[in-house]
Amino acid sequence: MKVAIVRYNAGNTASVVNALGRLGVEPLITDSAEGLLAADKVIFPGVGEASSAMLYLKERGLDEVIRGLSQPVLGICLGMQLMCASSEENDAECLGIVPLRVRRFPAGGLKVPHMGWNTISNLKGTLFDGVEEAAYVYFVHGYYVESGPEAVALATYGLEFAAALEHENFFAVQFHPERSGAVGEQILRNFLKL
Protein backbone atom coordinates (compact mmCIF):
# COMPACT_ATOMS: atom_id res chain seq x y z
CA MET A 1 0.00 0.00 0.00
CA LYS A 2 1.34 3.42 -0.99
CA VAL A 3 0.71 6.15 1.59
CA ALA A 4 1.64 9.74 0.79
CA ILE A 5 1.98 12.58 3.29
CA VAL A 6 1.40 16.08 1.91
CA ARG A 7 4.51 18.25 2.35
CA TYR A 8 3.54 21.92 2.64
CA ASN A 9 5.81 23.58 5.21
CA ALA A 10 3.49 22.74 8.11
CA GLY A 11 5.10 20.91 11.01
CA ASN A 12 4.43 17.57 12.64
CA THR A 13 5.30 15.32 9.72
CA ALA A 14 7.99 13.39 11.61
CA SER A 15 5.66 12.16 14.36
CA VAL A 16 3.11 11.03 11.75
CA VAL A 17 5.87 9.13 9.91
CA ASN A 18 6.90 7.47 13.20
CA ALA A 19 3.30 6.49 14.01
CA LEU A 20 2.86 4.96 10.55
CA GLY A 21 6.19 3.15 10.96
CA ARG A 22 4.83 1.47 14.10
CA LEU A 23 2.01 0.16 11.87
CA GLY A 24 4.48 -1.16 9.28
CA VAL A 25 3.92 1.61 6.73
CA GLU A 26 6.71 3.67 5.17
CA PRO A 27 5.07 6.76 3.64
CA LEU A 28 6.26 9.03 0.85
CA ILE A 29 6.48 12.68 1.92
CA THR A 30 5.77 14.78 -1.16
CA ASP A 31 4.53 18.07 -2.54
CA SER A 32 4.25 16.69 -6.08
CA ALA A 33 0.90 16.12 -7.75
CA GLU A 34 2.18 12.84 -9.17
CA GLY A 35 3.17 11.49 -5.75
CA LEU A 36 -0.22 12.33 -4.25
CA LEU A 37 -2.23 11.00 -7.20
CA ALA A 38 -0.30 7.69 -7.24
CA ALA A 39 -0.92 6.99 -3.53
CA ASP A 40 -3.55 4.59 -2.21
CA LYS A 41 -4.05 6.82 0.85
CA VAL A 42 -3.10 10.46 1.48
CA ILE A 43 -2.45 12.02 4.89
CA PHE A 44 -2.68 15.81 5.17
CA PRO A 45 -1.17 16.66 8.58
CA GLY A 46 -0.08 19.99 9.89
CA VAL A 47 0.76 22.34 12.68
CA GLY A 48 1.05 25.93 11.57
CA GLU A 49 -0.84 28.95 10.30
CA ALA A 50 -3.72 28.69 7.83
CA SER A 51 -3.06 31.57 5.39
CA SER A 52 0.64 30.80 4.81
CA ALA A 53 -0.13 27.09 4.46
CA MET A 54 -2.82 27.86 1.85
CA LEU A 55 -0.39 30.14 -0.01
CA TYR A 56 2.16 27.30 -0.24
CA LEU A 57 -0.52 24.89 -1.53
CA LYS A 58 -1.82 27.39 -4.12
CA GLU A 59 1.65 28.32 -5.41
CA ARG A 60 2.25 24.64 -6.24
CA GLY A 61 -1.27 23.89 -7.52
CA LEU A 62 -1.73 21.44 -4.65
CA ASP A 63 -5.03 23.04 -3.60
CA GLU A 64 -6.64 21.76 -6.82
CA VAL A 65 -4.86 18.40 -6.57
CA ILE A 66 -6.08 17.80 -3.00
CA ARG A 67 -9.67 18.84 -3.85
CA GLY A 68 -9.64 16.36 -6.74
CA LEU A 69 -8.26 13.32 -4.88
CA SER A 70 -10.53 10.27 -5.06
CA GLN A 71 -8.66 7.95 -2.66
CA PRO A 72 -9.14 8.20 1.13
CA VAL A 73 -7.58 11.38 2.54
CA LEU A 74 -6.99 12.03 6.26
CA GLY A 75 -6.53 15.60 7.47
CA ILE A 76 -4.90 16.06 10.87
CA CYS A 77 -5.13 19.29 12.95
CA LEU A 78 -4.32 22.14 10.51
CA GLY A 79 -4.97 19.66 7.67
CA MET A 80 -8.56 19.30 8.95
CA GLN A 81 -8.99 23.06 9.21
CA LEU A 82 -7.68 23.61 5.67
CA MET A 83 -10.34 21.23 4.33
CA CYS A 84 -13.00 23.71 5.50
CA ALA A 85 -14.41 26.74 3.66
CA SER A 86 -12.56 29.46 5.56
CA SER A 87 -10.60 30.22 8.71
CA GLU A 88 -10.65 33.21 11.01
CA GLU A 89 -6.88 32.74 11.26
CA ASN A 90 -5.74 35.72 9.15
CA ASP A 91 -9.03 35.49 7.18
CA ALA A 92 -7.79 32.51 5.16
CA GLU A 93 -9.84 31.10 2.32
CA CYS A 94 -9.38 27.33 2.64
CA LEU A 95 -9.95 24.36 0.31
CA GLY A 96 -13.75 24.31 0.68
CA ILE A 97 -14.02 20.51 0.68
CA VAL A 98 -16.31 20.75 3.72
CA PRO A 99 -18.65 23.77 4.00
CA LEU A 100 -17.74 24.56 7.62
CA ARG A 101 -15.85 27.50 9.09
CA VAL A 102 -12.84 27.55 11.37
CA ARG A 103 -13.18 29.94 14.31
CA ARG A 104 -10.89 31.24 17.03
CA PHE A 105 -11.61 30.08 20.56
CA PRO A 106 -13.16 33.01 22.42
CA ALA A 107 -10.88 34.92 24.76
CA GLY A 108 -11.55 34.94 28.46
CA GLY A 109 -11.70 32.03 30.84
CA LEU A 110 -10.04 29.49 28.55
CA LYS A 111 -6.36 28.95 28.02
CA VAL A 112 -5.70 29.15 24.28
CA PRO A 113 -4.39 27.13 22.57
CA HIS A 114 -6.42 24.17 23.75
CA MET A 115 -3.59 21.80 24.58
CA GLY A 116 -3.67 18.37 26.16
CA TRP A 117 -5.89 15.35 26.60
CA ASN A 118 -9.65 15.64 26.09
CA THR A 119 -12.51 13.25 25.41
CA ILE A 120 -14.33 12.77 22.12
CA SER A 121 -18.00 11.82 21.89
CA ASN A 122 -20.83 11.14 19.41
CA LEU A 123 -18.47 8.88 17.47
CA LYS A 124 -19.73 7.80 14.03
CA GLY A 125 -18.21 6.07 11.03
CA THR A 126 -15.48 3.54 10.31
CA LEU A 127 -12.67 5.84 11.49
CA PHE A 128 -13.84 5.10 15.05
CA ASP A 129 -14.31 1.31 14.79
CA GLY A 130 -13.05 -0.16 18.06
CA VAL A 131 -12.80 3.26 19.75
CA GLU A 132 -14.90 3.73 22.88
CA GLU A 133 -17.20 6.70 23.43
CA ALA A 134 -15.46 9.34 25.60
CA ALA A 135 -11.99 8.06 24.65
CA TYR A 136 -9.14 10.47 25.40
CA VAL A 137 -7.09 11.98 22.55
CA TYR A 138 -4.43 14.70 22.40
CA PHE A 139 -5.25 18.19 21.10
CA VAL A 140 -3.12 21.27 20.31
CA HIS A 141 -5.10 24.05 18.59
CA GLY A 142 -6.11 27.69 18.98
CA TYR A 143 -8.86 27.48 16.35
CA TYR A 144 -11.73 25.03 16.06
CA VAL A 145 -14.08 23.75 13.35
CA GLU A 146 -17.73 24.50 14.00
CA SER A 147 -19.96 21.46 14.26
CA GLY A 148 -22.14 20.48 11.31
CA PRO A 149 -23.57 17.46 9.48
CA GLU A 150 -20.05 16.32 8.50
CA ALA A 151 -18.93 16.03 12.15
CA VAL A 152 -18.35 12.39 13.14
CA ALA A 153 -16.94 13.19 16.59
CA LEU A 154 -17.38 16.11 18.96
CA ALA A 155 -15.29 17.55 21.79
CA THR A 156 -15.90 20.30 24.30
CA TYR A 157 -13.49 23.01 25.40
CA GLY A 158 -15.62 25.87 26.65
CA LEU A 159 -17.87 25.16 23.68
CA GLU A 160 -18.68 22.11 21.56
CA PHE A 161 -16.75 21.72 18.32
CA ALA A 162 -16.10 19.15 15.60
CA ALA A 163 -13.30 16.81 16.67
CA ALA A 164 -13.54 14.80 13.43
CA LEU A 165 -15.15 15.14 10.00
CA GLU A 166 -16.15 12.80 7.21
CA HIS A 167 -17.24 13.90 3.74
CA GLU A 168 -17.14 11.47 0.79
CA ASN A 169 -13.51 10.21 0.67
CA PHE A 170 -12.24 12.96 3.00
CA PHE A 171 -11.72 12.24 6.70
CA ALA A 172 -10.23 14.58 9.27
CA VAL A 173 -9.41 14.83 12.95
CA GLN A 174 -8.65 17.98 14.94
CA PHE A 175 -6.62 16.01 17.49
CA HIS A 176 -3.29 14.29 16.89
CA PRO A 177 -3.76 10.52 16.47
CA GLU A 178 0.00 10.12 16.26
CA ARG A 179 0.24 11.47 19.84
CA SER A 180 -2.90 9.81 21.21
CA GLY A 181 -1.55 6.42 22.27
CA ALA A 182 -3.54 3.25 21.57
CA VAL A 183 -6.69 5.20 20.61
CA GLY A 184 -4.82 7.22 17.99
CA GLU A 185 -3.13 4.09 16.67
CA GLN A 186 -6.53 2.43 16.24
CA ILE A 187 -7.83 5.45 14.30
CA LEU A 188 -4.79 5.40 11.99
CA ARG A 189 -5.19 1.64 11.53
CA ASN A 190 -8.87 2.15 10.64
CA PHE A 191 -7.93 4.80 8.09
CA LEU A 192 -5.33 2.54 6.47
CA LYS A 193 -7.98 -0.18 6.08
CA LEU A 194 -10.43 2.09 4.19
Q: Is the pLDDT of residue 9 over 90?
A: no
Fold that domain 3-193 belongs to in CATH: Rossmann fold (3.40.50)
Contacts of 21 (CB under 8 A, 6+ apart): none
Check if the beta carbon of residue 134 is closer than 8 Å to that of residue 190.
no
85 and 99 Cβ atoms separated by less than 8 Å:
yes
Nearest to 36 by CA among 10, 11, 9, 73: 73
**Catalytic one among 49, 150, 178, 185?**
178
Q: Which of 64, 77, 150, 167 is catalytic?
A: 77
For the question of residue 176 being annotated catalytic, the response is yes
Determine the pLDDT at residue 11: 73
Q: Helices 181-193 and 13-22, interaxial angle, to 10°? A: 80
The pLDDT score that the predictor gives to residue 107 is: 81
Instruction: Kindly report which listed range (24-28, 44-48, 125-129, 177-181) carries the lowest average pLDDT score.
Output: 44-48
In this prediction, residue 108 carries a pLDDT of 81
* Mean pLDDT confidence for 82-91: 97
- Model confidence at 191, pLDDT cuts 50, 70, 90, reads very high
Indicate the pLDDT class of residue 60, thresholds 50, 70 and 90: very high
Is pLDDT at 166 greater than 80 in this prediction? Answer: yes
Of the candidates 94, 132, 176, 185, the residue annotated as catalytic is 176
pLDDT score of 109: 83
The kind and range of the H/E element at 28 are: strand 28-30
DSSP letter (8 states) at residue 177: G
- Which tens digits make up the pLDDT trace of 134-155? 999 999 999 999 999 999 999 9
113 preceded by cis ω (within 30°)? yes
Q: For 100-136, how does the pLDDT look when each residue is reduced to its tens digit (9 = 90+)?
A: 999 999 988 889 999 999 999 999 999 999 999 999 9
178 is catalytic: yes
Say how far residue 24 (Cα) sits from the centre of its chain: 21
Residue 87 pLDDT exceeds 90: yes
Beta strands 28-30 and 3-6: pairing type?
parallel
Given a cut of 90, is residue 164 above it in pLDDT?
Answer: yes
Residue-level pLDDT at 12 = 78
Model-wide pTM > 0.85: yes
Tell me what the mean pLDDT of segment 5-20 comes to.
91
CA distance 172 to 152: 9
Active site residue 84: no
Cα–Cα distance, 89 to 168 (Å, whole number): 26
